[in-house]
Structure formats: structure tokens, C-alpha cells
Structure 1
Amino acid sequence: MEHRCEIPLASLSGASKRYGGTLALEEVDLELRAGQVLALLGTNGAGKTTAVSLLLGLLEPDAGQARLCGRSPRDLAARQGVGVMLQSGALAPTLAVSEHLDLVRSYYPDPLHVSECVAIAGLDGLLARRYGTLSGGQQRRVQFALAICGRPRVLFLDEPTTGLDIEARQGLWRGLRALVAGGTSVLLTTHYLEEAEALADRVVVLAGGRVVAEGSLDAVRARVDQRRIRCVTALDAAEVARWPGVRAANRDGGRLEVVTGTAEDVVRRLLAADPALSSLDVSRAGLAEAFLEITRDAPMQEAA
């Protein structure tokens, strides 16, 4: 049986959740639409995992509503179109990787072939290994394979690359991009802002259980009126730091790096002060700078 989802594929509407006296989420709205990679960002305790748990039906909201494929997240028809990779996965340590894959694939009517799971998740040489003998990074790759093996329409990834080295992380990114190109929509939580910047086309930032920013990557980056100037120059960083409009200046190897909100004025002064200046580059604030600025003054979670 084929399970088709109307957009939005996953949503929270005015969702609130308390743990005892602590308000984890307060009137949160978010939507994952078809074809999107949505990055849900926030510091520890911001409410990311609670939001994901509501969307998956692992928790019930105290107020508001969670919907998955237009249904209750606890509806079997909704769940059959979903793949999930949580921060921690308790899998039988004595089973071989191939046995785990065969078991989970059996739950779905049209699963990926084992060879596809191996290729996308980077499991070459691991199928015969017992899960408990794998390294932490290898176990994360197995968990990713189990999350995607049912051809999910919606994929939830909660801190998926924690514990992976750079090469393994980039391999998972390649696999994820291939899934998205094939029609899978993804809700991603991550502490690695470069990961969100590399994969997501939309961002929701949580702080203190509330949505404090949302929109496209460009829209969220534009919330911060900041430019970064890099150049090769003999000018002293401490002197440049005292110029009007300069927020920070420091040296990174042989290059001077200047942070400012008025790039044009500072660039003109740099060129006037050092005619030999070279390798000039001016860029807008990245997602990391925007995230820090947006969350710096955000309210803490309320405690009763």
C-alpha cells in the first residue's frame, strides 16, 4: 500500500510542553514541506529534541497540535512514511549489521535493497560485523541506514553526525543529498552549523523553547548586519580595531580579518592606508554568526 502525504508533511501548531516546572516549548509553530531540508537549531536545552519527540508521537503536547502527514503522529499510516535517527539508538549488540537491516527492512512494503543502504550509509565491509563490536561512528552509520531503509517520505535526523569524523560526516552528507534528490524531505537537528549551512534550505532557530528566527538560510543570515573582510596587508590589527565601524580585527596567519557593519567605508580606508593591500575578500555574516547574534539575548526557559 502506498502512503501519500499532503503538505505540510510534519507540523507543530501552537505546541507547548512542560516537564514538571520547566517550560520546554511554548506555542511553537513549524512546518516541514515537501522537498525541504529544514534545520532545527538551538543551544542545549532550547527544545529541539522535545519538538522532534512531539512530531514523532513520542510525547503529547500539553497544548497545541502535532501532525505527521496530515494525521496524528501516533497513526500507523503516518508512521509508515517516516524514517528516524535519534541521538541515541539502543540496538541489539549481538546481531550482525545485516541482521539489523533485514529486520527493519521487513517492516516496509518496498524497502531499499541492502546494497543501496550500504552505498548511501557507507557500510562497506560492515554487514557481517556484530553491532556491539563497531566503533561509535560506525554505529551511527548503521543507525542512518536503518532510518532510510524503508524509503521514507519524511526523514527525521536528530544530531546525525555526532561522533563521526570529517570524512564520515561528509559521506553522510552525500548520502543525504542523494535521498533529497530522490524526493525525501528532511527535518535535521544539529549542533554543527556548517552542517545546516551545507544541507538545509530553511532554518528554524529555537531559544528558551520559543521560535526566535525562521526562514531561508539567506533570510536568517540577513538578520545580522555584519560583514567579514579578509585581506593581506601590513596594517596592524590593533590599530584597525580602533577605526570607526570596526567591531573586531585580528590576524589569521598572514591575513587580516576585520568584522564590521559598514564594509564599504572600512574597505576604502584599508586601501588608502595600504596601497599594497591584496587578496581582498568581503563576505556576509555566515549562519554561525547569525545564530550567535540571534540567540545571545534570547530568554531562558521558564521554571515555575
Structure 2
Amino acid sequence: MNPASDVVARLSGAVKRYGSLTALDGVDLVLRRGELLAVLGPNGAGKSTSISLLLGLIRPDGGRAELFGMDPQQIDARRRIGVMLQSAMLPVTLRVGELLRLVSSYYPDPRPLEESAALAGVGDLLLRPYGKLSGGQQRRVQFALALCGRPELLFLDEPTVGMDIDSRRKLWAAMRALVAEGCSVVLTTHYLEEAEALAQRVVVMGKGRVLTEGSVDALRSHVPLTRIRCVTDLDAGLIAQWPNVATAEREGSRMHISTSAAENVLRRMLEADTSLSELEVQRAGLADAFTELTREDNLIEQEAA
């Protein structure tokens, strides 16, 4: 496959300023066909500005934004995408089925209404007025509207906010099904477990720049610590002085330890306390990597570099 034809969206050296504020400072970003890309970062990192450039809602002050090799404002590019933003102003009196039929009519090859409703889990809501739905139900309807045009590229901005656990998991399953069909997905989320569960690649942004990108495992490697939790009578202060122990803290009867040499620490703990119980060992997760990458002193060091 031609790598160039495989690219569905691209930012090349994108710069965006709002007066004296530089929202994006030379951002390069590439999304390929059939890929689920999570874009993470603290508030003000440049995530929303990057998405707005790719959607053609704003223009870059420098660099380029492309959708399917075209200007994002071209209708031929826009017909190939679906969008679910953080908020949506939809006619509250229209029924869900009416909204789906209306939005589907804007696309040349939309999904059948029943298929869109099933994917988004709103089949039981088709006769309900949109304004009578709960916040979580409205988010599911917005997801159905985003996918009803059979998009090749789907932008999802905080898609599961307001959803209960069951609805969130169903939406995750729908995202996986869309990616399996070859649809590309750009996901922005504050739920790091969501990105960890879904993303094939993660981009972490801070202060208008891309701090790092790669697979979830690659980002985890930025934090070479393992977390140990157990019930033990050992003294936390003593364990904290052991080699390769970063932190040791007691919370009631439980001990929480971070270490770069889990096997050595575990062996020593078991020798020192034969009654140790309820042992849990967990490698650093995406949340740990995100916290480390977006620490203020790390951002300052990158700016200086």
C-alpha cells in the first residue's frame, strides 16, 4: 500500500495564534486509514485547536492542514468525515429517528437508519424527542449522527462524558467495530483508561506542541516503575530506604510501593514478612506516563530545548 495514499488527515508545521497567545507552535500530526489515534493533553495544550484545523473550522496562520489530501473546507473532504463535538445544539422537538434521517440525507451513501441506531445503541430511542433524553442518551444520539454518513474518518471529542459504565463500554465496542471496517478515528478524552483501552497510537500535547507520540506501551516506557500493593506489617519508612524503591506509603493496613526493580523488592518483602497477603503488582499505566510527560518542569525543559 502506498504510504502517502494511506494518510487520511495531516497537520504539517501547523501554527495558530490568537493575539499574543500561540495555541499551536509547529505541530506535525498524521492519521492513517483504519487507525484509532488518541490525542491527549491538559487544558490549553492545543488539542481542540488541532481538531478545529483538521475540520476546517479555522485556518492555520502557518503550515498546512489536509483532509484526504484536500483543503479541509472542501465539500468533497467534509462528506467523508463524521464529527461528535463536546457539545451539540440540536432541535429538541425532533424525534431521534427524524434527526437520523435528516443528517443521513446530507451524505451520498449513508448507513441504513437501523444500522446507525444499533451501532450507537439508540434503537429504543427512535420515537423519543431529543429534548426529553438524558445527557448520556443525547451523547449516544450524537454518536449515531456522527457515524450515520458512513464516514471514512470520525472525530470524537470527549464522546463518553455523561455516560454510565454500560453505555461507555458499548460505545467502545462500536468504535472498535468501525475501526475494523477501516474507519479512522481521532479521539480526544480526559478518561485515560479510555485511550489506554482503545488507541493504537497516542499523541500527547502540551503548550501547543506535540510532546511525544507512539503506542500505549511506548508511552508507558517513559515511567519505568511498577506499583506494588499488599497488606503487611512492615514499616513504610524502612522500605522507602531500600534500593530501587521510589516511594513507600501506608494506607491503613495496605502498603503502596513504587519501584524500578519489582522482583528484588518483592523477594525482600516476602523474606521479611511471611504473613504478607493480598499482593497486587501492576506496571505503570498510561495515566502515570501522561502525568510524567505533562509535568510543568518537563514542559519547561522542552521549551528550553
Aligned residue for 2:199?
A: 200
User: How far apart are the structure 2 equivalents of 1:53 and 1:201?
Assistant: 22
User: How far apart are the structure 2 equivalents of 1:94 and 1:10?
Assistant: 35
Aligned residue for 2:272?
A: 273
Task: Report deviation, 1:134.
Answer: 1.2
- Give structure 2 stretches of 5+ with no counterpart: none
Q: Deviations over 1:202-258 (max 9, x none)?
A: 000000111111011111111112111233433244442343332223456765331
Task: Report deviation, 1:165.
Answer: 1.6
Aligned residue for 2:67?
A: 68
User: How far apart are the structure 1 equivalents of 2:133 and 2:238?
Assistant: 53
User: How far apart are the structure 1 equivalents of 2:157 and 2:109?
Assistant: 24
Aligned residue for 1:119?
A: 118
8 Å CA contact 1:97–1:130 kept in 2: the answer is yes
Aligned residue for 1:185?
A: 184
Q: Report the secondary structure of 2:159's partner residue.
A: coil
Instruction: Please show how residues 13-52 of structure 1 align to structure 2 within 5 Å.
Output: 13-52=12-51
Amino acid at match of 1:39: A
8 Å CA contact 1:7–1:69 kept in 2: the answer is no
Amino acid at match of 1:245: N
Q: Cα–Cα, structure 1 residues 20 and 298, in superposed 2: closer, same or farther, change >3 Å?
A: farther
Q: Deviations over 1:6-30 (max 9, x none)?
A: 2211111100111111111110011
- TM-score of the superposition, structure 1-length normalised? 0.92
8 Å CA contact 2:205–2:211 kept in 1: the answer is yes
Q: Cα–Cα, structure 1 residues 59 and 161, in superposed 2: closer, same or farther, change >3 Å?
A: same
Task: Report deviation, 1:171.
Answer: 1.4
Aligned residue for 1:261?
A: 260
User: How far apart are the structure 1 equivalents of 2:16 and 2:174?
Assistant: 34
Aligned residue for 2:169?
A: 170
Amino acid at match of 1:229: I
8 Å CA contact 1:81–1:154 kept in 2: the answer is yes
Amino acid at match of 1:9: V
User: How far apart are the structure 2 equivalents of 1:268 and 1:211?
Assistant: 40
Cα RMSD of the aligned pairs, angstroms, is 2.0
Q: Report the secondary structure of 1:43's partner residue.
A: coil
Instruction: Please show how residues 86-105 of structure 1 align to structure 2 within 5 Å.
Output: 86-105=85-104
User: How far apart are the structure 2 equivalents of 1:34 and 1:78?
Assistant: 14
8 Å CA contact 1:208–1:298 kept in 2: the answer is no
8 Å CA contact 2:114–2:123 kept in 1: the answer is no
8 Å CA contact 1:80–1:108 kept in 2: the answer is yes
Most deviating of 263-272 and 39-48: 263-272
User: How far apart are the structure 1 equivalents of 2:202 and 2:211?
Assistant: 11
Task: Report deviation, 1:278.
Answer: 4.5
